[in-house]
Amino acid sequence: MAEYGYPVLFALFAWWFATGVVLVLARLSRRSLPWSLGLATAVLAAALWALHSMSGTATIAAAYCSFTSALLVWGWVELTYFTGVVTGPRAAPCPAGVSGWQRFVFGVQASLWHELAIIGFAAAIVAVTWGGANQVGTWTFVVLWVMRWSAKLNLFLGVPNLNEEFFPEHLRYLRTYIAKRSVNPLFPVSVTVATIVAVLLVQGALAAEGFEAVGLALVTALLALAILEHWFLVLPLPDAALWSWLLRLRGPRVGGAARPAP
């Protein structure tokens, strides 16, 4: 239980709680934005330091610490995106009549700085953990990164559930870059490949023990949640209800908020 059950429960709670924090911060008034970003940046610095300091430590506690630190780095990336601080050079709706490759290029431009920030932080995490025995933080960030790109591509190609309630008002123009239609050809490929990887990780975790087992269990649980979020795009499941009490707590605001998890 300690090697598998606790990591799964911890990953589930961390995913839910991190999402809730971003939901709340994204719904605060614009006057509080400098304070939110200042606090998030301080947490970001601490997370990168923790990833570096834990990279050579192969203990169960270090696995949890690295996993959490990678989530905190991801949280900074998501917060700056959904508050509109780090998005892209194109802050306008997709022009009418544009389709195909040009629509894809415009969509990339709409979030280019955000995507480059993700690549930059991925490189930073690899750099601060390079050669270390503890790569849980790197695995965690890579899972978030790859599954986020997969979700974005599926939204671009078209899915039944666009989760429009997660778009803040100042990012509503991004709605014009995604399409609502029945399942697209990429979706089954995305889910199948991710599921196969998850099964292989489960097999690896079951064959391991101690630090390695816990690290693999944490990463596998996060990947499973990312796969579940992919299914939320096509199945009529009210995933927003998981955080509805937070939205009521902050009171009504025009527009929605956004999830930091893939």
CA dihedral 61, 64, 67, 72 (to 10 degrees): -100
C-alpha to C-alpha distance for 118 and 55, rounded to whole angstroms: 20
pLDDT bin (cut points 50, 70, 90) of residue 253 is very low
Section 121-132 average pLDDT: 96
Name the least confident of 78-87, 159-168, 234-243: 234-243
- For tokens 């990887």, what's the residue? 197
Length of the chain: 262
Predicted pLDDT of residue 207: 92
DSSP string, 39-88: HHHHHHHHHHHHHHHHTT--SHHHHHHHHHHHHHHHHHHHHHHHTTSS--
* 45-57 burial: b if 16+ Cβ within 10 Å, else e: eebbebbbbbbee
Q: Specify if 255 maps to a domain.
A: no
Task: Please report whether residue 262 resides in a domain.
Answer: no
Degrees (nearest 5) of the Cα angle 144, 248, 176? Answer: 50
Q: Is residue 238 part of a domain?
A: yes
Give the span between the Cα atoms of 138 and 50, in whole angstroms: 12
Q: What's the whole-number average pLDDT of the chain?
A: 87
Domain count of the fold of the chain: 1
Q: Is residue 173 part of a domain?
A: yes
Amino acid at 3: E
Percent of the chain surpassing pLDDT 90: 58
Spatial distance between the Cα atoms of 236 and 98, rounded to a whole number of angstroms: 29
Q: For the ranges 63-77, 79-93, 157-171, 210-224, which has the lowest average pLDDT? A: 157-171
The answer to whether residue 259 sits within a structural domain is no
Distance CA 11, CA 218 (A): 6
Pick 109 or 31 by higher pLDDT: 109
More confident residue, 179 or 69: 69
CB 222 within 8 A of CB 140: yes
Exposed, middle or buried, 5 (CB in 10 Å: 0-12/13-18/19+)?
Answer: exposed
Residue 257 in domain: no
Task: Name every residue whose Cβ is closer than 8 Å to that of residue 104 and which is 6 or more positions away in sequence.
Answer: 156
Enclosing domain of residue 64: 5-250
As a whole-number percent, the residues of the chain with pLDDT over 70 amount to: 88
Q: Tell whether the model's pLDDT for residue 262 goes beyond 60.
A: no
pLDDT, position 165: 65
Query: Mind listing the pLDDT tens digit for each residue in 208-250?
Result: 999 999 999 999 999 999 999 899 888 876 666 665 655 555 4
pTM, entire model: 0.89
Structure tokens at 8: 């799964």
pLDDT value at residue 139: 97
